[in-house]
Structure 1
Protein backbone atom coordinates (compact mmCIF):
# COMPACT_ATOMS: atom_id res chain seq x y z
CA UNK A 1 0.00 0.00 0.00
CA UNK A 2 2.80 2.43 0.89
CA UNK A 3 4.57 1.72 -2.41
CA UNK A 4 1.34 2.41 -4.29
CA UNK A 5 1.10 5.83 -2.66
CA UNK A 6 4.66 6.66 -3.67
CA UNK A 7 4.01 5.59 -7.26
CA UNK A 8 0.76 7.58 -7.36
CA UNK A 9 2.49 10.63 -5.89
CA UNK A 10 5.33 10.34 -8.44
CA UNK A 11 2.84 10.11 -11.30
CA UNK A 12 0.89 13.12 -10.07
CA UNK A 13 4.06 15.16 -9.53
CA UNK A 14 5.32 14.22 -13.00
CA UNK A 15 2.00 15.19 -14.54
CA UNK A 16 2.08 18.54 -12.78
CA UNK A 17 5.60 19.24 -14.08
CA UNK A 18 4.60 18.32 -17.63
CA UNK A 19 1.44 20.41 -17.43
CA UNK A 20 3.49 23.38 -16.26
CA UNK A 21 5.78 23.03 -19.26
CA UNK A 22 2.89 23.15 -21.70
CA UNK A 23 1.24 26.31 -20.33
CA UNK A 24 0.48 29.02 -22.88
CA UNK A 25 2.52 32.20 -22.88
CA UNK A 26 1.06 35.61 -23.63
CA UNK A 27 3.51 35.91 -26.54
CA UNK A 28 1.69 32.99 -28.21
CA UNK A 29 -1.04 35.52 -29.10
CA UNK A 30 1.23 38.16 -30.65
CA UNK A 31 -0.34 37.82 -34.11
CA UNK A 32 -3.96 37.77 -32.91
CA UNK A 33 -6.20 40.71 -33.74
CA UNK A 34 -7.66 43.04 -32.70
CA UNK A 35 -4.70 44.26 -30.71
CA UNK A 36 -5.50 44.83 -27.04
CA UNK A 37 -4.34 48.09 -25.51
CA UNK A 38 -5.62 48.19 -21.93
CA UNK A 39 -5.45 51.97 -21.68
CA UNK A 40 -7.77 52.24 -24.68
CA UNK A 41 -10.18 49.43 -23.76
CA UNK A 42 -10.44 50.29 -20.06
CA UNK A 43 -11.18 53.96 -20.63
CA UNK A 44 -14.72 55.11 -19.91
CA UNK A 45 -17.49 52.86 -18.60
CA UNK A 46 -17.24 49.08 -18.92
CA UNK A 47 -19.83 46.53 -17.73
CA UNK A 48 -19.04 42.93 -16.86
CA UNK A 49 -21.01 39.80 -16.03
CA UNK A 50 -19.37 36.87 -14.30
CA UNK A 51 -19.53 33.65 -12.36
CA UNK A 52 -17.32 31.91 -9.83
CA UNK A 53 -17.05 28.14 -10.17
CA UNK A 54 -15.54 25.73 -7.67
CA UNK A 55 -12.85 23.47 -9.09
CA UNK A 56 -15.48 20.76 -9.66
CA UNK A 57 -17.45 23.12 -11.93
CA UNK A 58 -20.31 24.08 -9.58
CA UNK A 59 -21.30 27.74 -10.02
CA UNK A 60 -21.46 29.19 -6.50
CA UNK A 61 -21.62 32.92 -7.21
CA UNK A 62 -22.88 35.18 -9.98
CA UNK A 63 -22.08 38.88 -10.22
CA UNK A 64 -22.08 42.05 -12.28
CA UNK A 65 -19.46 44.78 -12.31
CA UNK A 66 -19.68 48.40 -13.39
CA UNK A 67 -16.24 49.84 -14.05
CA UNK A 68 -15.46 53.54 -14.37
CA UNK A 69 -12.03 53.77 -15.96
CA UNK A 70 -9.76 56.70 -16.75
CA UNK A 71 -6.17 57.28 -17.78
CA UNK A 72 -3.80 60.19 -17.42
CA UNK A 73 -0.69 59.42 -19.45
CA UNK A 74 0.60 56.02 -18.33
CA UNK A 75 -1.42 56.04 -15.07
CA UNK A 76 -4.86 54.45 -14.99
CA UNK A 77 -7.64 54.04 -12.43
CA UNK A 78 -10.21 51.23 -12.75
CA UNK A 79 -12.98 51.79 -10.21
CA UNK A 80 -14.95 48.52 -9.97
CA UNK A 81 -18.38 48.21 -8.29
CA UNK A 82 -19.40 44.55 -7.82
CA UNK A 83 -22.99 43.39 -7.17
CA UNK A 84 -23.32 39.70 -6.25
CA UNK A 85 -26.34 37.42 -6.67
CA UNK A 86 -26.62 37.04 -2.88
CA UNK A 87 -27.18 40.80 -2.53
CA UNK A 88 -23.70 41.73 -1.29
CA UNK A 89 -21.61 44.44 -2.91
CA UNK A 90 -17.92 45.15 -3.11
CA UNK A 91 -15.66 47.85 -4.49
CA UNK A 92 -12.12 47.55 -5.79
CA UNK A 93 -10.09 50.44 -7.15
CA UNK A 94 -7.13 49.43 -9.28
CA UNK A 95 -4.29 51.88 -9.89
CA UNK A 96 -2.40 50.75 -12.98
CA UNK A 97 0.85 51.83 -14.57
CA UNK A 98 1.57 51.19 -18.23
CA UNK A 99 5.21 50.33 -18.99
CA UNK A 100 7.12 49.67 -22.22
CA UNK A 101 6.48 46.58 -24.34
CA UNK A 102 2.87 46.05 -23.19
CA UNK A 103 3.75 45.50 -19.52
CA UNK A 104 1.47 46.72 -16.74
CA UNK A 105 1.71 46.83 -12.96
CA UNK A 106 -1.10 47.54 -10.56
CA UNK A 107 -2.21 47.89 -6.98
CA UNK A 108 -5.51 47.78 -5.11
CA UNK A 109 -6.33 47.82 -1.39
CA UNK A 110 -7.09 44.08 -1.26
CA UNK A 111 -4.17 43.06 -3.49
CA UNK A 112 -1.06 41.82 -1.70
CA UNK A 113 1.99 43.48 -3.23
CA UNK A 114 2.00 44.44 -6.88
CA UNK A 115 0.11 42.82 -9.76
CA UNK A 116 2.10 42.09 -12.91
CA UNK A 117 0.73 41.84 -16.42
CA UNK A 118 1.65 41.70 -20.08
CA UNK A 119 -0.28 42.26 -23.30
CA UNK A 120 0.52 40.65 -26.63
CA UNK A 121 -1.77 40.68 -29.64
CA UNK A 122 -5.35 40.36 -28.38
CA UNK A 123 -4.38 38.82 -25.02
CA UNK A 124 -3.49 40.05 -21.54
CA UNK A 125 -2.13 37.93 -18.71
CA UNK A 126 -2.46 39.39 -15.22
CA UNK A 127 -1.04 37.77 -12.05
CA UNK A 128 -1.67 38.91 -8.51
CA UNK A 129 -2.48 37.80 -4.97
CA UNK A 130 -5.86 38.85 -3.63
CA UNK A 131 -6.71 38.96 0.08
CA UNK A 132 -10.18 37.36 0.22
CA UNK A 133 -12.49 37.45 3.25
CA UNK A 134 -14.24 34.10 3.80
CA UNK A 135 -16.41 33.35 6.85
CA UNK A 136 -14.70 35.90 9.09
CA UNK A 137 -11.16 34.96 8.04
CA UNK A 138 -8.95 36.23 5.22
CA UNK A 139 -6.98 34.14 2.76
CA UNK A 140 -4.30 35.20 0.29
CA UNK A 141 -5.28 33.61 -3.03
CA UNK A 142 -3.28 33.72 -6.25
CA UNK A 143 -5.05 34.78 -9.46
CA UNK A 144 -3.87 33.96 -12.97
CA UNK A 145 -6.08 36.07 -15.25
CA UNK A 146 -6.22 35.68 -19.02
CA UNK A 147 -8.17 38.28 -20.99
CA UNK A 148 -8.91 38.07 -24.71
CA UNK A 149 -10.20 40.98 -26.77
CA UNK A 150 -12.92 39.68 -29.11
CA UNK A 151 -13.79 42.97 -30.82
CA UNK A 152 -13.72 46.67 -29.92
CA UNK A 153 -16.53 46.21 -27.35
CA UNK A 154 -16.25 42.65 -25.97
CA UNK A 155 -13.46 41.06 -23.96
CA UNK A 156 -13.57 37.64 -22.24
CA UNK A 157 -11.68 36.86 -19.03
CA UNK A 158 -10.86 33.53 -17.42
CA UNK A 159 -9.12 33.63 -14.06
CA UNK A 160 -7.82 30.63 -12.16
CA UNK A 161 -7.72 30.96 -8.37
CA UNK A 162 -5.21 28.88 -6.41
CA UNK A 163 -3.64 28.51 -2.99
CA UNK A 164 -0.33 26.67 -2.47
CA UNK A 165 -0.50 25.62 -6.14
CA UNK A 166 -3.88 23.93 -5.71
CA UNK A 167 -6.67 25.22 -7.95
CA UNK A 168 -9.64 26.44 -5.92
CA UNK A 169 -11.86 27.50 -8.81
CA UNK A 170 -12.30 29.78 -11.78
CA UNK A 171 -13.84 33.14 -12.46
CA UNK A 172 -15.36 33.71 -15.90
CA UNK A 173 -16.17 37.25 -17.03
CA UNK A 174 -17.53 38.94 -20.11
CA UNK A 175 -16.65 42.65 -20.42
CA UNK A 176 -18.75 44.97 -22.55
CA UNK A 177 -17.48 48.48 -23.30
CA UNK A 178 -20.07 51.23 -23.73
Structure 2
Protein backbone atom coordinates (compact mmCIF):
# COMPACT_ATOMS: atom_id res chain seq x y z
CA UNK A 1 0.00 0.00 0.00
CA UNK A 2 2.84 2.41 0.86
CA UNK A 3 4.48 1.83 -2.51
CA UNK A 4 1.20 2.46 -4.28
CA UNK A 5 0.78 5.75 -2.40
CA UNK A 6 4.35 6.84 -3.23
CA UNK A 7 3.83 5.91 -6.89
CA UNK A 8 0.56 7.87 -6.98
CA UNK A 9 2.22 10.93 -5.43
CA UNK A 10 5.10 10.77 -7.94
CA UNK A 11 2.71 10.48 -10.87
CA UNK A 12 0.58 13.34 -9.54
CA UNK A 13 3.63 15.59 -9.13
CA UNK A 14 4.88 14.69 -12.60
CA UNK A 15 1.49 15.61 -14.07
CA UNK A 16 1.77 19.13 -12.63
CA UNK A 17 3.26 20.58 -15.82
CA UNK A 18 5.43 23.63 -15.72
CA UNK A 19 4.32 26.92 -17.20
CA UNK A 20 5.03 27.44 -20.89
CA UNK A 21 5.22 30.69 -22.78
CA UNK A 22 2.13 29.58 -24.74
CA UNK A 23 0.12 29.99 -21.52
CA UNK A 24 0.38 33.76 -22.19
CA UNK A 25 -0.64 33.68 -25.87
CA UNK A 26 -3.88 35.58 -25.20
CA UNK A 27 -2.36 38.24 -22.95
CA UNK A 28 -2.19 41.86 -24.05
CA UNK A 29 -0.43 44.03 -24.92
CA UNK A 30 1.48 41.79 -27.32
CA UNK A 31 5.24 41.98 -26.85
CA UNK A 32 7.21 42.98 -29.94
CA UNK A 33 10.93 43.18 -29.14
CA UNK A 34 11.78 45.42 -32.06
CA UNK A 35 9.07 47.93 -31.14
CA UNK A 36 9.86 47.87 -27.42
CA UNK A 37 13.55 48.56 -27.98
CA UNK A 38 13.05 51.15 -30.74
CA UNK A 39 14.17 53.88 -28.35
CA UNK A 40 16.46 53.99 -25.29
CA UNK A 41 15.44 51.88 -22.32
CA UNK A 42 16.38 52.28 -18.66
CA UNK A 43 16.23 49.36 -16.23
CA UNK A 44 16.62 48.79 -12.49
CA UNK A 45 17.23 45.42 -10.91
CA UNK A 46 18.25 43.29 -7.98
CA UNK A 47 19.90 39.91 -7.50
CA UNK A 48 18.59 37.88 -4.55
CA UNK A 49 20.24 34.75 -3.26
CA UNK A 50 18.13 31.65 -2.64
CA UNK A 51 17.29 32.85 0.89
CA UNK A 52 15.76 36.02 -0.59
CA UNK A 53 18.50 38.40 0.57
CA UNK A 54 19.32 41.17 -1.90
CA UNK A 55 22.98 40.71 -2.79
CA UNK A 56 23.30 43.28 -5.58
CA UNK A 57 21.34 46.23 -6.94
CA UNK A 58 21.98 47.67 -10.37
CA UNK A 59 20.91 50.17 -13.01
CA UNK A 60 21.11 49.54 -16.77
CA UNK A 61 21.02 51.90 -19.73
CA UNK A 62 20.10 50.10 -22.96
CA UNK A 63 20.44 51.45 -26.46
CA UNK A 64 19.59 49.50 -29.57
CA UNK A 65 20.09 49.49 -33.29
CA UNK A 66 19.03 47.35 -36.22
CA UNK A 67 21.49 45.46 -38.41
CA UNK A 68 19.36 43.93 -41.16
CA UNK A 69 16.89 41.66 -39.38
CA UNK A 70 19.05 41.54 -36.25
CA UNK A 71 18.44 43.64 -33.14
CA UNK A 72 21.57 44.79 -31.28
CA UNK A 73 21.09 45.71 -27.60
CA UNK A 74 23.94 47.52 -25.85
CA UNK A 75 23.46 47.17 -22.07
CA UNK A 76 25.54 49.32 -19.69
CA UNK A 77 25.32 48.16 -16.06
CA UNK A 78 26.24 50.16 -12.96
CA UNK A 79 26.13 48.10 -9.75
CA UNK A 80 25.49 49.42 -6.25
CA UNK A 81 29.14 48.75 -5.33
CA UNK A 82 30.28 51.08 -8.14
CA UNK A 83 31.43 48.39 -10.56
CA UNK A 84 30.35 48.54 -14.19
CA UNK A 85 29.73 46.01 -16.94
CA UNK A 86 28.73 46.06 -20.58
CA UNK A 87 26.86 43.30 -22.42
CA UNK A 88 26.01 43.56 -26.10
CA UNK A 89 23.27 41.21 -27.24
CA UNK A 90 22.75 40.31 -30.90
CA UNK A 91 19.19 39.05 -31.31
CA UNK A 92 18.16 37.25 -34.49
CA UNK A 93 14.63 36.16 -35.43
CA UNK A 94 14.33 32.39 -35.68
CA UNK A 95 10.92 31.86 -37.25
CA UNK A 96 7.56 32.98 -35.93
CA UNK A 97 7.76 34.23 -32.33
CA UNK A 98 11.22 32.73 -31.79
CA UNK A 99 14.57 34.48 -31.27
CA UNK A 100 18.19 33.47 -30.86
CA UNK A 101 20.63 35.64 -28.97
CA UNK A 102 24.36 35.86 -28.48
CA UNK A 103 26.62 37.93 -26.24
CA UNK A 104 30.29 37.63 -25.26
CA UNK A 105 29.55 36.04 -21.88
CA UNK A 106 26.73 33.77 -23.13
CA UNK A 107 27.75 30.21 -23.91
CA UNK A 108 26.38 29.23 -27.30
CA UNK A 109 23.02 30.85 -27.97
CA UNK A 110 20.13 32.06 -25.88
CA UNK A 111 16.84 30.66 -27.11
CA UNK A 112 13.77 32.88 -26.82
CA UNK A 113 10.10 32.24 -27.44
CA UNK A 114 7.35 34.89 -27.52
CA UNK A 115 3.63 34.50 -26.92
CA UNK A 116 1.19 37.30 -26.07
CA UNK A 117 2.85 39.66 -23.60
CA UNK A 118 5.57 37.17 -22.55
CA UNK A 119 9.07 36.19 -23.64
CA UNK A 120 11.02 33.28 -22.21
CA UNK A 121 14.81 33.28 -22.65
CA UNK A 122 16.94 30.29 -21.71
CA UNK A 123 20.73 30.35 -21.82
CA UNK A 124 24.01 29.62 -20.07
CA UNK A 125 26.25 32.44 -18.93
CA UNK A 126 29.86 32.74 -17.76
CA UNK A 127 29.46 34.50 -14.40
CA UNK A 128 32.63 35.93 -12.83
CA UNK A 129 32.65 35.90 -9.02
CA UNK A 130 35.86 37.08 -7.36
CA UNK A 131 38.67 35.14 -9.09
CA UNK A 132 36.48 32.34 -10.47
CA UNK A 133 34.07 32.15 -13.40
CA UNK A 134 31.04 29.90 -13.01
CA UNK A 135 28.81 28.57 -15.76
CA UNK A 136 25.22 29.22 -14.69
CA UNK A 137 21.90 28.65 -16.41
CA UNK A 138 19.35 31.44 -16.72
CA UNK A 139 15.63 30.96 -17.16
CA UNK A 140 14.34 34.47 -17.97
CA UNK A 141 10.68 35.42 -18.12
CA UNK A 142 9.76 38.87 -19.42
CA UNK A 143 6.25 40.35 -19.31
CA UNK A 144 5.11 43.49 -21.13
CA UNK A 145 2.91 45.48 -18.76
CA UNK A 146 2.15 48.43 -21.05
CA UNK A 147 3.82 49.86 -24.13
CA UNK A 148 6.67 51.35 -22.05
CA UNK A 149 7.11 48.88 -19.15
CA UNK A 150 8.61 45.40 -19.16
CA UNK A 151 9.20 43.23 -16.09
CA UNK A 152 11.82 40.47 -16.08
CA UNK A 153 12.16 37.68 -13.52
CA UNK A 154 15.02 35.23 -13.89
CA UNK A 155 16.07 32.11 -12.07
CA UNK A 156 19.80 31.46 -11.96
CA UNK A 157 20.70 27.78 -11.61
CA UNK A 158 23.82 25.65 -11.25
CA UNK A 159 23.47 21.87 -11.69
CA UNK A 160 19.69 22.35 -11.59
CA UNK A 161 19.81 24.02 -8.16
CA UNK A 162 18.55 27.59 -7.92
CA UNK A 163 21.28 29.96 -6.74
CA UNK A 164 19.09 33.02 -6.79
CA UNK A 165 16.79 35.27 -8.77
CA UNK A 166 17.19 38.46 -10.77
CA UNK A 167 14.31 40.92 -10.99
CA UNK A 168 14.42 43.80 -13.48
CA UNK A 169 12.03 46.60 -14.39
CA UNK A 170 12.52 48.11 -17.86
CA UNK A 171 11.12 51.49 -18.84
CA UNK A 172 11.27 52.98 -22.35
CA UNK A 173 12.49 56.56 -22.43
CA UNK A 174 10.89 59.39 -24.44
Q: Following superposition of structure 1 onto structure 2, how do residues 163-174 of structure 1 map, counting pairs within 5 Å?
A: 163-174=158-169
2:102 equivalent in structure 1: 107
- Gaps (5+ residues) in structure 1? 1-9
Please name the residue that 2:112 is paired with. 117
Q: Does 1:40 align with 2:14?
A: no
TM-score (norm 2): 0.90
1:26-47 per-residue CA deviation (whole Å, 9 max, x = no partner) reads 0000000000011111222100
Pair 1:18-2:23 in alignment = no
1:62 aligns with 2:57: yes
Misfit runs of 4+, over 6 Å: none
Distance 1:142 1:20 in 2: 24
Following superposition, the deviation at residue 20 of structure 1 comes to 8.7
Q: Offset at 1:22?
A: 2.5
Instruction: Tell me which residue corresponds to 2:3.
Output: none
**Aligned equivalent of 2:90:** 95
Which residue in the other structure is 1:139 paired with? 134
Select the structure that is richer in helix: 1
Structure 2, unpaired ranges of 5+: 1-5
Q: Give the structure-1-normalised TM-score.
A: 0.88
* Distance apart, 1:19 and its partner CA: 6.8
Q: Which of 68, 74, 79 is the aligned partner of 2:69?
A: 74
Q: How many angstroms does 1:132 deviate by?
A: 0.5
**Counterpart among 125, 128, 147 of residue 152 in structure 1:** 147
| Equivalent residues of 1:74, 1:99 under 8 A apart | no
Task: Indicate how the Cα distance of structure 1 residues 113 and 132 shifts in structure 2: closer, same or farther if over 3 A, else same.
Answer: same
RMSD: 1.9
- Distance in 2 (alpha carbons) for counterparts of 1:156 and 1:22: 23
